[in-house]
Amino acid sequence: MLYLLFFTKAGFALAVQNSEQGIVAFDNAVTKIEKLIDSNVPLAQLELKRFEGRLDELSLKQKITYQNLLTDIYISQGQFHLGKQAATEGLALTLKLSSPSLLISELLYSRGFANESIGETALASKDYESGLELAKSLHDKVLIATGLINLGAIYYLTDRYENSLTVLNDAYNIAKQTDDDELKGAVNSELGILYAYLDRNKQAMVYYQQSYQYYKKADKTILALNALVNIGMNHLFEKEYEQAITAYKTIIDESDGVAPNQIMYRTYSGLSWANLKKKDPNPEVSYQYLLLSKQYMQSIEQYDIELQYYLDEAFVLFEIERFDETLDSISTVENILAAQMPLGQLKMQARISIVNLKSKTYFKLGHYQQAYDLQAQRLSLTQVMRAKEHIQSVAEVRLTLEAKEADLHKQVLKNQQTLQEIALSTAEQEQQQQKLYLFTIAVVALIFAWLLVKLIQGQRKLYHASSIDMLTGIANRRKLMRKGRKFIHRASAKKTDFSVIMIDIDHFKKVNDQFGHSVGDQVLKKVVELGEDFMRNTDVFGRFGGEEFIVFLPHTSTSQAKIIAERFRTAVEGYSWGIINGLDDSFATSISIGIASSVDMPVDEKYDLTALINRADSLLYQAKNQGRNKVCSE
């Protein structure tokens, strides 16, 4: 019995010793794995895999760290669904922690990025906001700045450019207070992307170059390569094709065969486009590069990667005169666009580009009537895009943002100086610094003068932007009433007809309650898009509040207004809502409409805007009382 007891205790002691060794081994491996994720992801995965069968030996915090590292590895390889799953498992483990941990913020940010990459922007935003709140409560500057950078990306992806600049500016200022070069690289990268969205490619290039230098300084090889991808893309936007080719070939040389698939995909895709568009184009070489990019594209789970590839493929095939295959690629693009919920104007531009290319392809094949019909469709789509005030406001937002950039411009000048100094030898630095100092003073003086002019312009543009409803892009209540007063004054002076249409989405609260506000916002946007198709250039269509909308129609009788309203109601009733993410084909909604016209009003209220709105509102509720999905008028 004593013999058995001795060996039981010895076995227990050995198990404890092995467990302790496993814990120590994991702690020693974490730093190595983190460095490998920045330089050689496959090797990082092999290192982490050594602990896959020993998780029971690890402490709770180490298990969470394991999931965090696994998430980073999956995301670096473009396996976003697996990354999301690993992050979710890590977050489930954090529920057992006795106190909040920064690991929770890191996992939320990683899961948010995975959601963002597969197109789930609402879920990504929620994860980013949750991670940011925790980082703020723990007073961690780096993670606070990281959360702001993540939200800034969501904002520019959803056309909220002013919000994006605000949070990225905050992140920029926080990063300046730290010694974290990786963080500085990240915020410069996102600012570069934002300015590229705003068609300010020269400013974007400065941020991309700064991002590259910071990542190199931080020894973040893969992130530095990604910054080079952005630099190459920026050269393409500026039609600097030879410089773009140089940047992309630098990536291939520096990647050493360990760059993630998404970087190599973007590199070969960029080389394809540069060779297609350069001064002496080489379409065949361009096509070969495109085929190389497709090899990497297959394993990337990013939601819009197929759209990007088949758009490029269609244009390249057209250039090498393989027109039947061009039409096949165009068909694929059309199917992808039909299935995806657009994030902003880029999808509309893609749709216009592909319609134009399809028209040219039919023309080359001798199908002239089809080519002509498609050109008519392209012109119609272009007019729709230009008519949308929220798209036109991109330029306006770009101007208003410039009034807020004084601090950023000062830092840009300093960073430009740093970039130049890196290229100088030690012997040249002292001489060049003096010249650069004098130059900087002159440039700063010019910039401040320029900013003063832009500030005045920005204030005027900001006043205009304040009249747009940020969600739907149509006139807000303020602009509606201002326009309405002008219209009614003219109608009164000329004794012409004037009509008001009041619209309300039926049972909209149930949509928000059942499917969430993100889906509700998409329904609102789609209803507006459907309504805009029936509005004339002389009408003003705006959001009165919540799910209520108003249309002011000058020179319009009751019968004419009723035709417009009935078409709008029918379009909403017959729309296939299943294409919206979060809804299925069984979902249906409708609108109720009330119409009031000056011709039907008492003499003393005929040209009273408030009275007309109240009457239209009363008829709207009459439509609801009669069972909804109806148009009521006098």
- Look at residue 121 in the predicted model and tell me its pLDDT: 83
Instruction: State residue 367 phi and psi, 5-degree precision.
Output: -95, 75
Query: Considering the domain boundaries, does residue 350 fall inside one?
Result: no
**Strand spans (E) along 75-209:** none
In contact, 561 and 633? CB cutoff 8 Å: yes
In 3D space, the residue among 311, 318, 312 whose CA is nearest the CA of residue 361 turns out to be: 318
Asked if residue 574 and residue 618 are part of one domain, the reply reads yes
What is the rounded CA–CA span in Å between residue 469 and residue 481? 13
What is the rounded CA–CA span in Å between residue 395 and residue 400? 9
What is the rounded CA–CA span in Å between residue 390 and residue 465? 9
Query: Considering the domain boundaries, does residue 602 fall inside one?
Result: yes
What is the rounded CA–CA span in Å between residue 378 and residue 361? 14
Query: Considering the domain boundaries, does residue 575 fall inside one?
Result: yes
What is the rounded CA–CA span in Å between residue 510 and residue 543? 20
Paired tokens of 351: 């749709």
pLDDT one-digit tens code per residue, 8-33: 444 444 444 444 555 678 888 888 88
Residues 6+ apart with CB under 8 A from 393: 464, 465, 468, 473
Query: Considering the domain boundaries, does residue 364 fall inside one?
Result: no
Q: Which H/E stretch holds residue 552?
A: strand 548-554
In contact, 629 and 573? CB cutoff 8 Å: yes
CB half-sphere exposure, 157, CA atoms < 13 A: 21
Q: Which of 73, 105, 139 is the last residue of a domain?
A: 139
Asked if residue 488 and residue 415 are part of one domain, the reply reads no
Which residue is listed with tokens 């939200």? Answer: 151
Domain that holds residue 110: 1-139
Query: Considering the domain boundaries, does residue 204 fall inside one?
Result: no
Asked if residue 514 and residue 446 are part of one domain, the reply reads no
In 3D space, the residue among 2, 121, 86, 23 whose CA is nearest the CA of residue 522 turns out to be: 121
Asked if residue 572 and residue 539 are part of one domain, the reply reads yes
User: Is the Cα dihedral 372, 378, 380, 383 positive or negative?
Assistant: negative
- Look at residue 533 in the predicted model and tell me its pLDDT: 86
Residues in the chain predicted with pLDDT less than 70, given as ranges, are 1-23, 258, 301-303, 340-347, 382-466
Bridge partners, 593 (sequence order): 503, 631
63 phi-psi bin (left φ>0, alpha ψ -120 to 50, beta other)? alpha
Q: Which of 426, 457, 488 is the last residue of a domain?
A: 457
- Look at residue 456 in the predicted model and tell me its pLDDT: 44
pLDDT one-digit tens code per residue, 107-147: 999 999 888 887 788 898 999 999 999 889 889 999 999 99
In contact, 557 and 583? CB cutoff 8 Å: no
pLDDT one-digit tens code per residue, 352-376: 888 888 888 888 888 888 878 888 7
In contact, 477 and 485? CB cutoff 8 Å: no
Query: Considering the domain boundaries, does residue 168 fall inside one?
Result: no
In contact, 197 and 203? CB cutoff 8 Å: no
- Look at residue 149 in the predicted model and tell me its pLDDT: 93
Residues 6+ apart with CB under 8 A from 357: 314, 315, 318, 326, 330
Paired tokens of 129: 């906001």
What is the rounded CA–CA span in Å between residue 83 and residue 75? 5
Number of domains in the chain: 3
- Domain harbouring 618, CATH code: 3.30.70.270
Asked if residue 541 and residue 453 are part of one domain, the reply reads no
- Domain harbouring 45, CATH code: 1.25.40.10
Asked if residue 105 and residue 44 are part of one domain, the reply reads yes
Asked if residue 497 and residue 445 are part of one domain, the reply reads no
Asked if residue 614 and residue 485 are part of one domain, the reply reads yes
Q: Which residues of 63-95 are buried (b: 16+ CB within 10 A; e: fewer)?
A: bbbbbbbbbbbbbbbbbbebbbbbbebbbebbe
Query: Considering the domain boundaries, does residue 418 fall inside one?
Result: yes
Query: Angle CA(130)–CA(154)–CA(263) in degrees, nearest 5?
Result: 110
Asked if residue 535 and residue 438 are part of one domain, the reply reads no
Asked if residue 15 and residue 94 are part of one domain, the reply reads yes
Q: Which of 119, 139, 159 is the last residue of a domain?
A: 139
Asked if residue 2 and residue 132 are part of one domain, the reply reads yes
Asked if residue 520 and residue 405 are part of one domain, the reply reads no
Task: List the strands of the sheet with 540-545, edge to edge.
Answer: 540-545, 548-554, 498-505, 591-597, 631-632
Reduced to 3 states, what is the DSSP secondary structure of residue 498?
strand
